[in-house]
Amino acid sequence: MNPLALQLAADLGGSLLTAPGGSLVLAERIQGHGLPQVLVLGRSAADLREPLEAADTVQARGVALNVLGLLPLSQADQADPDLAAALALHRRRLGALVCALDAGLPWLAGKPMLVRRLPGRLARPVPVALEKAPMGPLEKAELKLFLPDWDKARRKMTFRRPEWREAPDHAEHGGFEVDLWSGVPVPAGAELRVPPLVLPESTPLTEALRSALRTALGQPIPVLPLPGDPAPLHALRSLTPEATAFRGPVRAWELAFERLAQLPAPPHFCARC
């Protein structure tokens, strides 16, 4: 057992679960058995500290909601855990969820936002030209307003036609990879390693999260495409279709949990039942 992983679990007030290729730290903030539950996924321990603090605060105020913080850990001699396999393995331990939130994706340009689309990842032995990702005039205008310091070429390279780069395993296997936005055809001879992701908008979940950020930060919150890794969100959506990206200060998490506790919860199940 990795002593550093055990220490991290202790620091977060959680337990260590075995998983394919690594382990998971599960930090449970349980208010009561059978209550609605929200899962928050972090890419690092820092991603979970604010939501766990917020969970303690709202539960002390009597909000009837359980919060599960989850952190995948890789082992020194292995790749990152297969999150989809790990979630399937521990599905009953996690139980039924109102929603699952990926708290590890950074805001675009460090500014508050919610996520509309995430690009997948495409691999090919030799780069080829890709079609430009479709984008409507409203989304173009929103991005231009949100990123005033970005010139047109930078926005195009990020959101419309990204550049190919050497794959991480290039030295061993050769090949290149590129971000693939939704609506762009996969060229012949390419491998789709991670599909792009389009997230629902104007749902009770997104409205609750947007309202929480707007109230906590005192400013409008746009919903924009984000050039981040969608793989963890794909895995979370195998647990519940109500899965999206969210981050913010402690106050925003408190408001989000209060609003999420009021949403309809799925039929309860867990490993104790």
**Which of residues 195, 216, 239 is at a domain's end?**
195
Count how many domains the chain has: 2
Q: Tell me the average pLDDT across 249-265.
A: 97
Q: pLDDT-derived band of residue 119, with 50, 70 and 90 as boundaries?
A: very high
Residue 26 clears pLDDT 70, i.e. is over it: yes
Q: Same domain, yes or no, for 97 and 9?
A: yes
Q: Same domain, yes or no, for 75 and 43?
A: yes
Tell me which residue range forms the domain holding 19.
3-108+229-260
Domain membership of residue 201 (yes or no) is: no
* Mean pLDDT score across all residues of the chain: 93
> pLDDT: is 80 or 53 the higher one?
53
Q: Which residues are within 8 A (CB) of 209 and not within 5 positions of it... i.e. 6 or more apart?
A: 101, 114, 244, 246, 256, 259
pLDDT for 74: 74
Closest by CA position to 221, among listed 182, 252, 181: 252
Q: Tell me the average pLDDT across 88-100.
A: 97
Give the pLDDT confidence of 156-214 residue by residue, as tens digits: 999 999 999 998 875 555 699 999 999 999 999 999 999 999 999 999 999 999 999 99
Q: Identify the CATH number of the domain in which residue 45 sits.
A: 3.40.50
Q: Tell me the average pLDDT across 88-109.
A: 97
Give the pLDDT confidence of 144-166 residue by residue, as tens digits: 999 999 999 999 999 999 999 99
Q: Same domain, yes or no, for 79 and 133?
A: no
pLDDT for 21: 79
Give the pLDDT confidence of 1-20 residue by residue, as tens digits: 577 778 888 888 889 998 88
Picking from 3-17, 89-103, 122-136, 192-206, which range would have the lowest pLDDT averaged per residue?
A: 3-17
Domain membership of residue 59 (yes or no) is: yes
